Structure 1
Amino acid sequence: METDLSAAHAAHVDSPTGTDADAAGRLRVSAIVVLMIAHCAGMVDLVALPVWVGTLIGAYRLDAQQAGLLATLFLAGAVVSSLFFSPRLNRLPARAMATLGFGTATLAFVGIVAIDGYAAMAVLHAVAGIASGCGLSFTHGTIGRSRRPHRLFAIAGLALGVFAIAFLGATPALIAQHGGATLFRVFAGVMGVATVACALAFPSLRTQRSAATAAEPRFERAVWFGMVGVGCMALTQSMMFSFVQRIGLDHGFGFGAVTATLIALGLVDLFPAPVAALLEGRIAGRRVVQAGPIVQAVLVLVITQSATFAPYAVATSVFAAVMIFTHTFAFGMLARIDRTGRAVAATPAMLMTGAAIGPLLGGTLVKHSGYGSLGVAAVVITVAAVFCLSRLEGRRDSQGARA
């Protein structure tokens, strides 16, 4: 399994050992595995938000708004980091920056375990977000500069699904047995594994200095609309996902049933990315990215309005899959429009701008208006998402012609 890097953007390989890529700029299996590990670590919020916020409320005795704020600080830090590093993708050594980012995030989560007090937790959440956002920007930038970004990002989505099963299957029980700090020990372990992997085999690819310092073209209008649209979907995702565990528990479905639903969610998450890869070239990406937000809003309404367990369980188990499937197509479309890799290097900013607002917005709505208000907000956000994503240019979305 190897992925060719675009010749225009992989003229130089910055690798101490030279084993990451051959002279033609072709990623080896080891480098792809590292990108998958880094993707899972950097996207941990997509998997962990319900357990994260639920633990802060249940184990640390924070209210919904306080718990949402801590998650928001992590995600806001990732946004700031991505906005800073994504324009510099082709001017900094990717291996060193990814290793430094995930290493710093490891230390921040270790610090959360060791300290006590809300203010200190808030600062360390922000630091962890900034650090992981750095590592994830270079990860997604490298994926985006590949010859088949849609396919490689789909593989990353499959890896995230496998990670989700392990995380959601084991972490809630560990937290129940050993206390809330266990969550942050798990986060530190995930970031630590990513740190070691990046240090050993991250494909530190960069352009030649003359190309990197030359004036790069501005993004097309379609890129900006696409980025905003993905951010809107991420807002709905995090706003709902942060409280899906608490909704189940507060509706009286029971800890075991809710945990089983989260495990089912992880199992379902195995499928959207490989299905998206198989459907590349067979279905118009523009249709997928317009339908995705609508399906997402319908699921939010089902989850928040369900008085019985079955509709809640079905909607929850497929909720994250909609985002993964839709974003795989959006990632491929954006990567084809902008071949410099800068647009998709800003993926953490796209996802986490919305995701950063989501937990705090959701917590505020729940605190003052109850869970039903999340459905109303999701419908409003969906209108904006569909409008923006409809502006991704169909002429660029040949689904395979330029992949």
Structure 2
Amino acid sequence: MRTTTKSGIGRLVLMTSHCAGMVDMVALPLWVGTLVATYLLDPQQAGGLVTLFLLGAVMASLLLAPRFNRIDGRLAATVGFAVASACFFASATLRRFELLALLHAVGGVAAGAGLSFTHGTIGRSANPHRLFGMAGMALGVFAVLLLGAAPQLMVRFGGAALFYALGVAMAIAALLAAWRFPVADAETQASRSFRESGAKLPSRVWFGIAGIGAMALVQAMVYSFLERMGSDRGFGTATLTALLVAIGFVNMFPSGLAAFLERRLNATIVLCAGPAIQGVLALMIALSHAVAPFAVAASVFVAVMLFTHTFAFGTLARMDVTGRVVAATPAMVMIGSAIGPVLGGTLAKLSGYEALGLAGAAFDVLALVCFWCLTRVPRSGDLELAPNETPGVSSS
């Protein structure tokens, strides 16, 4: 049965796939914390394993995004999430670092493959900005469920329970993808002609890719060690669990709000304000030894990235009429996310947690400059959609 992005079932499958593929956005602090506390790895090793997973996702996205229009998305998403699920289940039963490294790398490649076709399909829908915002809202709901339940399961069944939970999430995404993963909306004539001509994408697109990557790096670098920072500063398990649940609740709203405000806020202002706010919050988290400022900054830290990324996704979808750039969204996000955990672990090991905030602020300055360049007035040679044209709907 042919399912489209306009159907409720098709959108449900895309949202579920988005939640599974973007699991690092939710699980990083528990993931790294489990590897340190239960698997007895040092921060650098723990960050390195997560980095392997994310680098695998980046490689899959870079390889598959240019081929988005030539591969069956339903098959790619189903196989990708199924293999990722198997890798998480295996990680729950093993302790050898070398085997965990292999499983993280393979699982990342598999999850990245599924996510690339998820984002490419969203990018070729009638309104990519809105559908990506809906997927972000679903990720917020998933965050509440995972961050609320996982710590309790880990207390009762051990740290391996986290990997079982992630395996189940990937398995559900695989089953739904096999059932009704939607086909991308038909290309416009402009999209087909542009893709088949071999013409280059607008040069400004690369600034957007770099800006998203820089913000993702800051988020991964700081958020990965959020639980460890709070624990080492004596905030207590109950306080940190409540904070993680609060983060999940807050994250339910920014993507939906960004979708609602699509035509009410200037994208340039949003894209430039996002990195600035993220940098300030990173400094607050890394430098605060009191619960109140730490909790306030931490509770909205991920939300800033979710809100800003929705506007960035919509902007890039308008600039590229083929859907290939947004199919590479996992690479944009996860190249930064891949570097973040291991860089954060190295900085924390050598210079303490305060260094995470200082490095984060520096990378956010770079992100701000990149987004400003992305949204400047286009040159006459740049090809992009008109503001009211959508990538999957013909204007004829």
Q: TM-score, normalised by structure 2?
A: 0.93
Q: Secondary structure at the match of 1:390?
A: helix
Q: 1:33-72 counterparts in 2 under 5 A? A: 33-72=12-51
Does the alignment pair 1:75 with 2:75?
no
Q: 1:341-356 counterparts in 2 under 5 A? A: 341-356=323-338
Does the alignment pair 1:402 with 2:389?
yes
Q: Say whether the 8 Å CA contact 2:318–2:385 is kept in structure 1.
A: no
Instruction: Please tell me the residue identity of whatever aligns with 1:350.
Output: M
Classify 1:216/1:99 alpha carbon distance in 2 versus 1 (closer, same or farther; 3 Å): farther
> Residue in 2 aligned with 1:242?
224
Does the alignment pair 1:164 with 2:143?
yes
Instruction: Please tell me the residue identity of whatever aligns with 1:262.
Output: L
Q: Secondary structure at the match of 2:234?
A: coil
CA distance in 1, matches of 2:350, 2:289: 20
Does the alignment pair 1:312 with 2:291?
no
Q: CA deviation at 1:362?
A: 0.1
Q: CA deviation at 1:176?
A: 1.6
Question: Which residue, 273, 277, 284 being the options, matches 2:266?
Answer: 284
Instruction: Please tell me the residue identity of whatever aligns with 1:365.
Output: L
> Residue in 2 aligned with 1:98?
77
Residues 293-350 of structure 1 show CA distances to partners (whole Å, capped at 9, x for unaligned) of 1100100111111121011111100000000000000000000000211111000000
Question: Which residue, 283, 286, 289 being the options, matches 1:301?
Answer: 283
Question: Which residue, 68, 79, 86 being the options, matches 1:89?
Answer: 68
> Residue in 2 aligned with 1:274?
256
CA distance in 2, matches of 1:394, 1:190: 40
Question: Which residue, 134, 138, 141 being the options, matches 2:117?
Answer: 138
Question: Which residue, 303, 310, 313 being the options, matches 1:328?
Answer: 310
Q: Say whether the 8 Å CA contact 2:122–2:184 is kept in structure 1.
A: no
Instruction: Please tell me the residue identity of whatever aligns with 2:258.
Output: A
Does the alignment pair 1:112 with 2:91?
yes
Residues 41-83 of structure 1 show CA distances to partners (whole Å, capped at 9, x for unaligned) of 0000000000000111111111100000000000000000000
Classify 1:260/1:398 alpha carbon distance in 2 versus 1 (closer, same or farther; 3 Å): farther
Question: Which residue, 181, 185, 191 being the options, matches 2:170?
Answer: 191
Instruction: Please tell me the residue identity of whatever aligns with 2:205.
Output: V
Q: CA deviation at 1:383?
A: 1.6
Q: Secondary structure at the match of 1:114?
A: coil
Q: Say whether the 8 Å CA contact 1:281–1:399 is kept in structure 2.
A: no
Q: Secondary structure at the match of 1:122?
A: helix
Q: Say whether the 8 Å CA contact 2:284–2:297 is kept in structure 1.
A: yes
> Residue in 2 aligned with 1:4?
none
Q: CA deviation at 1:206?
A: 7.6
Question: Which residue, 87, 107, 110 being the options, matches 1:128?
Answer: 107
Q: Say whether the 8 Å CA contact 2:52–2:338 is kept in structure 1.
A: yes
Residues 138-167 of structure 1 show CA distances to partners (whole Å, capped at 9, x for unaligned) of 000000011211000000010000000000
Q: CA deviation at 1:395?
A: 5.1
CA distance in 2, matches of 1:382, 1:402: 31
Q: Say whether the 8 Å CA contact 1:91–1:206 is kept in structure 2.
A: no
Classify 1:400/1:166 alpha carbon distance in 2 versus 1 (closer, same or farther; 3 Å): farther
Instruction: Please tell me the residue identity of whatever aligns with 1:218.
Output: K
Q: Secondary structure at the match of 2:182?
A: coil
The alignment of Structure 1 onto Structure 2 pairs a total of residues equal to 381
Instruction: Please tell me the residue identity of whatever aligns with 2:126.
Output: R
Q: CA deviation at 1:204?
A: 3.0
Q: Secondary structure at the match of 1:46?
A: helix
> Residue in 2 aligned with 1:5?
none
Q: Say whether the 8 Å CA contact 1:68–1:360 is kept in structure 2.
A: yes
Q: CA deviation at 1:111?
A: 1.6
CA distance in 2, matches of 1:104, 1:207: 29
Q: CA deviation at 1:115?
A: 2.7
Indicate the larger mover: 153-162 or 217-226. Answer: 217-226
CA distance in 2, matches of 1:153, 1:362: 28
Indicate the larger mover: 374-383 or 231-240. Answer: 374-383
Question: Which residue, 9, 32, 38 being the options, matches 2:11?
Answer: 32
Residues 245-302 of structure 1 show CA distances to partners (whole Å, capped at 9, x for unaligned) of 1111111110000110010000000110111111111111111011101100100111
Percent identity of paired positions between Structure 1 and Structure 2: 50
> Residue in 2 aligned with 1:175?
154
Instruction: Please tell me the residue identity of whatever aligns with 1:293.
Output: P
**Backbone CA RMSD of aligned residues:** 1.8
Q: CA deviation at 1:400?
A: 5.5
Indicate the larger mover: 80-89 or 111-120. Answer: 111-120
Structure 1: where are the runs of 5+ without partners?
A: 1-16
Classify 1:166/1:399 alpha carbon distance in 2 versus 1 (closer, same or farther; 3 Å): farther
CA distance in 2, matches of 1:60, 1:36: 32
> Residue in 1 aligned with 2:381?
none
Residues 108-160 of structure 1 show CA distances to partners (whole Å, capped at 9, x for unaligned) of 11221233301000000000000000000000000001121100000001000
